[in-house]
Amino acid sequence: MHYILFYDVIDNFPERRIPYRAAHLTGVRESHERGELLLAGALADPPDGAVLIFRGDSPATAEAFARADPYVTNGLVTNWRVRSWNTVAGDGAMLPA
């Protein structure tokens, strides 16, 4: 199953994330290297959120990532939520059409 972690972020997020960006990206890379995180990135125009796509048996991995993420722990993320995603097309689709 795929899970999407959605972040809602504070105003001026691109500038205000700078002190925490290296630590955040370390967590992103480590999760990707473990095969948990497939894609991640900030939304643009407007830069008001981010989306991270995980693969796993439950939402627990995505939830644990969010709870430990420096963007969350330092108040840059105003709200986060994980949604299950039934993928039907593309590399790694869980329920191919």
Domain segments of the chain: what residues? 2-85
Q: Which residue from 6, 2, 1, 9 is spatially nearest to 81, judged by alpha carbons?
A: 6
Give the pLDDT confidence score for residue 95 in this predicted structure.
82
Tokens representing residue 45 in the block: 């125009």
Which residue in 41, 80, 75, 82 sits closest to 60, CA to CA? 82
User: Does 94 score more than 90 pLDDT?
Assistant: no
pLDDT confidence tier of residue 60, bands split at 50, 70 and 90? very high
User: Can you say whether residue 90 is alpha, beta or left, with left for phi > 0 and alpha for psi between -120 and 50 degrees?
Assistant: left
Percent of the chain whose predicted confidence (pLDDT) is above 70? 99
- Please provide the average confidence, as pLDDT, over all residues in the chain: 96
Task: Judge whether residue 19 has pLDDT over 90.
Answer: yes
Q: Which CATH superfamily does the domain covering 2-85 fall into?
A: Dimeric alpha+beta barrel (3.30.70.1060)
User: Do the beta carbons of residue 9 and residue 50 sit within 8 Å?
Assistant: yes
Mean pLDDT value across residues 25-29 = 98
